[in-house]
Amino acid sequence: MIRTSEPVDRLSAEDAVRSYEHLTQVERAFRSLKGIDLLVRPIWHRTEDHVRAHVFLCMLAYYVEWHLRKALAPLLFDDEELNENRKKRDHMKPAQLSESAKKKKTLRFTSEGLVVQSFDTLLMELGTRCRNRCRIKSDPRGPTFCQLTEKSPLQERAFQFLGL
């Protein structure tokens, strides 16, 4: 049972349950902060200002991660239609995967033919993009130049989703 002090005209029973379900997202965020993802703990700082700055940076990192996951959802195993379907479905029953999410999980390919990724594997793939400083071997004291690695199709699409 969920109880609220909000009047029914402001918050229906269904919306109260949906709001309560968002609590799991908050709990997941704190697990991420304390767990292996962002490592808030242990805190090795001694002053209050440094501890506050550390926690602030961890919260900022989680906020950036949240936005990245949202923007990159078409490339991830995430169900992109979950939030849209949340208001349509029976709030007392567990959420069901959308047909597009089932297809992604079964085939392991996006609708564009790219391999579906976990967030961690996608970050590792994006981490392979780099800029190399080069120098011609025959002239070791000669000028240097920079060369970017070629983007893979997955990286290209991820950068498009991120607006980069």
Helix, strand, coil % over all residues of the chain, rounded to 5: 50, 10, 45
Of residues 123, 120, 98, 124, the one with CA closest to residue 111: 98
Residue 140 pLDDT grade (very low, low, confident, very high; cuts 50, 70, 90) = confident
Domain ranges in the chain? 1-71, 98-164
| pLDDT, position 150 | 93
Instruction: Give the pTM.
Output: 0.70
Of all helices (H) and strands (E), which one includes residue 119? helix 119-126
Nearest-10 crossing angle of helices 153-162, 48-71: 110
pLDDT digits (tens, 9 = 90+) for 48-103: 898 888 888 888 888 888 899 999 999 998 877 776 666 676 666 676 777 888 88
Joined tokens for residue 43: 């805190």
Nearest to 162 by CA among 131, 122, 135, 106: 122
pLDDT category of residue 35 using cuts at 50, 70 and 90 = low
